[in-house]
Chain A
Amino acid sequence: MTKIHVTTTVNGDETEFLCDPRETLLDVLRDRLNLTGAKEGCGTGDCGACSVTMEGRLVCSCLVLGAEAEGKDIATVEGIADGDTLHPLQRKFIEHAALQCGICTPGILVAAKSLLEKNPDPSETEVRYWLAGNLCRCTGYDKIIRAVMDAATEMREAS
């Protein structure tokens, strides 16, 4: 089967890869670009563990084909920290112990960052609705919500 040649931008770096037409963006990120932050939970867009942004829009990378990334700007959890300096969301997730097994965490960080860029001062309800597509089977969500609210407060004070 003919492979498709794709040129795209991932976390600010221009990248190219060859992929099978059936490969998802998640497959490409993990298996071809060695960016294993995005996780495959369900593979059907239900769990959000594979969340990335494409052209600034939050999507499940399991529901995007690698071929569709042509010319697009992709951002993954690997691009959230600034070198060794963690993003406020990452720090607050550690402070609040907002994770246990950690599988859902990259997706939740990407999703939460996307929310705070759109709405720097969300209500708890807005955070819960925004993250409804990010499933966590460990934490019961409360610590995650508190970490996001706390990060939002800190980011507002810093800006």
Chain B
Amino acid sequence: MNYHSPASFAEASALAANVDGVTRFLAGGTDVLVQLRADIVTPDTLIDIKMIDGVSDIIQNDDGSWTLGVAVTGAEMTEHAGLSQDWPGVVEAMDLVGSTQVQGRATLTGNLCNGSPAADSVPAMVAAGVTVTVTSADGSREVAVEKVPTGPGRTSLAKGELVSAVNIPARGDNAGDAYLRFIPRTEMDIAVVGVAVSLRLDGDIVTEARVCLGAVAPTVLLVQDCADAINGSTLDDAALDALAVAASAACNPITDKRGTVEFRTDVAGVLAKRAAKIAYARANGETVKGDHA
């Protein structure tokens, strides 16, 4: 295995484009190094992107949007008061990943590019409308997070392409987000079901809802039927019930040791309602603790 630590994304992409065999990019390493150790994936080329300028920056742009470097860790996100205020759902989802030790290294970009359908931060990013900047020899393009995973362990990124920034939209007024997951215990486990909701309010009416489900299909699911179920409502019981039905209907899960198809399908509806209520309360300016208080 060859280890490289390039000084720019252009250099990193050129390196990746010009080598044969298995290439992995190293951000926090909490998946890549586990796979290396377990002989699941042994890269021929490992490209550490943490020496590139700005990869640990959390920047709020003039329009209120956020640009996060690809090596920003979960711990750095949680410690950032402004980001946590704007996007508590995204920050809490990332915070649910692994232990304190893992939080010191793990990144949004790695969680996304690892391609796990159960990645906690990915549904939250999708609901929030997050995009990633993808850099290659041909330049850069902006890709919606939901367009990155294509199946378990697979992404739409081509050889020589890598994520070079995470772009979180401006939160704007009267808006909130939330992410909830089910695990069989309180900490240190992988989502059996995850649900993220982001919405805006016009008075007490929901607008611009985005609902994303994790761990219930080969990729995370952005479910328009869920958004339609609550857009235009006051999130009354009828709307919540319709949301739950739409969430369950969208599920295409597997049965494994963590949960059955039936369980996952049911819990997706339950969590969708709970997450929507938290997002609604946050959009109303209430401070609501998330899953990981």
Which of B30-38, B163-171, B210-218 lies on the face that meets chain A? B30-38
Residues of chain B from 44 to 92 with CB closer than 8 A to chain A in the complex = 46, 48, 50, 73, 75
Bound-state CA distance A43–B7 (Å) is 29
Bound-state CA distance A94–B5 (Å) is 43
| A interface, CB within 8 angstroms of B | 1, 4, 21-22, 24, 43-46, 48, 51, 54, 57-60, 62-65, 67-68, 70, 111, 114-115, 129-134
Q: Is the CB of B34 within 8 A of A44?
A: yes
Q: Is the CB of A21 within 8 A of B3?
A: yes
Q: Is the CB of A65 within 8 A of B75?
A: no
Q: Chain B 11-38, CB within 8 Å of chain A: the 1/0 string?
A: 0000000000000001001100110111
Q: Is the CB of A57 within 8 A of B104?
A: yes
- Given known pairs A21-B1, A21-B46, A132-B188, the reply for A64 and B100 (CB within 8 Å) is no
Measured between beta carbons, the chain B residues less than 8 angstroms from A21 are: 1-3, 46
Contact of B187 among A51, A115, A132 (CB under 8 A): A132
Q: A24's closest neighbor in chain B, by CB?
A: B33
A106 to chain B, nearest CB (A): 13
Interface contacts beyond A21-B46, A54-B104, A65-B46: sample of 10 additional A-B pairs, CB < 8 Å, sorted by A: A21-B3, A24-B37, A44-B37, A48-B99, A48-B101, A51-B101, A63-B29, A68-B29, A111-B101, A130-B100
- Given known pairs A21-B2, A57-B75, A133-B188, the reply for A43 and B100 (CB within 8 Å) is no
Q: Is the CB of B101 within 8 A of A58?
A: yes
Contact of B102 among A70, A114, A133 (CB under 8 A): A133
Bound-state CA distance A57–B101 (Å) is 8
Secondary structure at the A interface, as helix, strand, loop or mixed, is mixed
Measured between beta carbons, the chain B residues less than 8 angstroms from A57 are: 73, 75, 104-105
Residues of chain B from 183 to 218 with CB closer than 8 A to chain A in the complex = 187-188
Query: Which of B26, B98, B101, B102 has most chain A Cβ within 10 Å?
Result: B101
Bound-state CA distance A44–B40 (Å) is 12
Measured between beta carbons, the chain A residues less than 8 angstroms from B26 are: 65, 68
Measured between beta carbons, the chain A residues less than 8 angstroms from B34 are: 44-45, 63
Contact of A133 among B5, B33, B46, B98 (CB under 8 A): B98
Q: Is the CB of B102 within 8 A of A45?
A: yes
Bound-state CA distance A130–B104 (Å) is 12
Measured between beta carbons, the chain B residues less than 8 angstroms from A62 are: 33, 37
Contact of B29 among A64, A115, A131, A132 (CB under 8 A): A64
Bound-state CA distance A22–B38 (Å) is 12
Q: Is the CB of A129 within 8 A of B187?
A: yes
Contact of A67 among B3, B73, B75 (CB under 8 A): B3
Measured between beta carbons, the chain A residues less than 8 angstroms from B99 are: 45-46, 48, 132-134
Bound-state CA distance A59–B33 (Å) is 13
